[in-house]
Amino acid sequence: MKKIFYTSLFFIFPLISSAQINPQEIKRIKEEISKIQSQADSANPKRADLFVKIGKLYSQINDADNAQISFEKALEIDPKNDEAHFMLALIFEKKKIDNKALEHWKKCLEFTSNASFKAIAEKHINYLSRK
């Protein structure tokens, strides 16, 4: 149970944190995003994992809108990508778009083999279903 809690914090904290990130760290992350974006643009076939990485980096700098775009691109390539569904569910919960969050939690649960993802998705589905 503790493992699930700490795993969820790893994914959730960047999305809900309002703490300031120092400018050097933001610059470093944006440079990393740019490098991975170049890889993603030139990859043939397209790779969902690169867009997931980009989305996670945007999440680290509290840019939920660009993170959302990146995770949605990942799902265009691989509609069964459990991590992209997981992260989009968190983003939609943060944005208080519960119907979209619930949709992505259910898809995450359907496609994942990750026990932590399953446990977290089930909790969020139960919570959102009772709202």
Global confidence as pTM: 0.85
Average pLDDT over residues 60-89: 98
- Among candidate residues 78, 71, 93, the one with its CA nearest the CA of residue 15: 93
How much of the chain exceeds pLDDT 90, in percent? 82
Q: Regarding predicted confidence, which is higher, 9 or 33?
A: 33
Cα–Cα distance between 50 and 79 in angstroms, integer?
Answer: 14
Give every CB contact of residue 45 below 8 A, 6+ residues apart in sequence: 77
* 121, 101 Cβ separation under 8 angstroms: no
Average pLDDT, the chain: 90
What domains lie within the chain, and their CATH numbers? 2-14+22-130 (1.25.40.10)
Q: 28, 40, 100: which is closest to 64 by C-alpha?
A: 100
Residue with more model confidence, 4 or 79: 79
Which among 75, 73, 9, 78 is positioned nearest to 41, based on CA atoms?
Answer: 73
Tell me how far apart the alpha carbons of residues 23 and 11 are, in angstroms, rounded to a whole number: 22
Best CA proximity match to 77, nearest among 53, 48, 51: 48
**pLDDT digits 0-9 by tens, 98-125:** 999 999 999 999 999 999 999 999 999 9
Handedness of CA 48, 37, 35, 29 (dihedral sign): negative
Instruction: Decide which of 10 and 94 is more confident.
Output: 94
pLDDT at 17: 52
Query: pLDDT band at 8, cuts 50/70/90?
Result: low
